[in-house]
Homo-oligomer: A and B are copies of this chain.
Amino acid sequence: MSVDKVIRERRSIRKFLKKDVPKDLVLKILDAARWAPSSKNSQPWEFIIIRKEEIKKKLAKLARYGWFIAEAPVVIAVVTDPQKSYAHLIDGACAVQNLMLAAWELGLGTCWIGTMDREKAKEVLGIPENLHLLTVVPLGYPEETPMPPSRKPLEKIVYYENYGRKDL
């Protein structure tokens, strides 16, 4: 599937089929994630593949908008290292965008979970104090077909040469 098509058609997925995602597909997606660029090629990311019900349930309780974490067959926790890159949030976000696009190409849906009690979630996952839990990403075969979310028109967010200048 073309990049352009996947970028435009990918949706955040919050309902998943009760169908397993094979390990080799999960690893293929994480392999795509690690090809993101990063500040000075620091690659400040690590991933935890979570399948255990008990852990997923705990994470779901810690994420304000993440009730559906418990219902995804797989959850990927993305950990970044502020000591390895001052831009670890940005580097990590590029890797996760890769992950979400690669997943969609394989027929798999994801959703970025941003709001959670990070300190408690780090405890649940045994993540050391000095590392950052960027996001937990539920992953699975979609059981919904969400409508495209609204988008600001391109001409409202593009300027020429100078901020606010509308055309040449």
Interface residues of A (CB under 8 A from B): 1-4, 6-8, 10, 12, 27-28, 30-32, 34-37, 39, 41, 43, 45-52, 55, 79, 87, 89-94, 96-98, 100-102, 104-105, 112, 114, 125-128, 131, 134, 149-152, 154, 157-165
Known: A2-B2, A2-B105, A162-B126. A157 touches B45 (CB 8 A): yes
In the complex the two chains form, is B97's CB within 8 Å of A43's CB?
no
Closest to A41 in B: B149
Total identical chains: 2
Question: Which residues of B sit under 8 angstroms from A30, Cβ to Cβ?
Answer: 154, 157-158
In the complex the two chains form, is A161's CB within 8 Å of B55's CB?
yes
Question: Which residues of B sit under 8 angstroms from A154, Cβ to Cβ?
Answer: 27, 30-31, 34
In the complex the two chains form, is A87's CB within 8 Å of B105's CB?
no
Classify the secondary structure of A's interface with B: mixed
CA distance A1 to B96 in the complex (A): 20
Rounded to whole Å, the gap between the CB of A55 and the closest CB of chain B is: 6
Question: Which residues of B sit under 8 angstroms from A112, Cβ to Cβ?
Answer: 37
Rounded to whole Å, the gap between the CB of A114 and the closest CB of chain B is: 6
In the complex the two chains form, is A161's CB within 8 Å of B94's CB?
no
In the complex the two chains form, is A160's CB within 8 Å of B48's CB?
yes
Known: A3-B6, A48-B160, A87-B114. A34 touches B97 (CB 8 A): no
Closest to A94 in B: B97
In the complex the two chains form, is B163's CB within 8 Å of A126's CB?
yes
CA distance A104 to B27 in the complex (A): 24
Q: CB < 8 Å: which of B3, B52, B87 contacts A3?
A: B3
In the complex the two chains form, is A3's CB within 8 Å of B101's CB?
yes
In the complex the two chains form, is B97's CB within 8 Å of A49's CB?
no
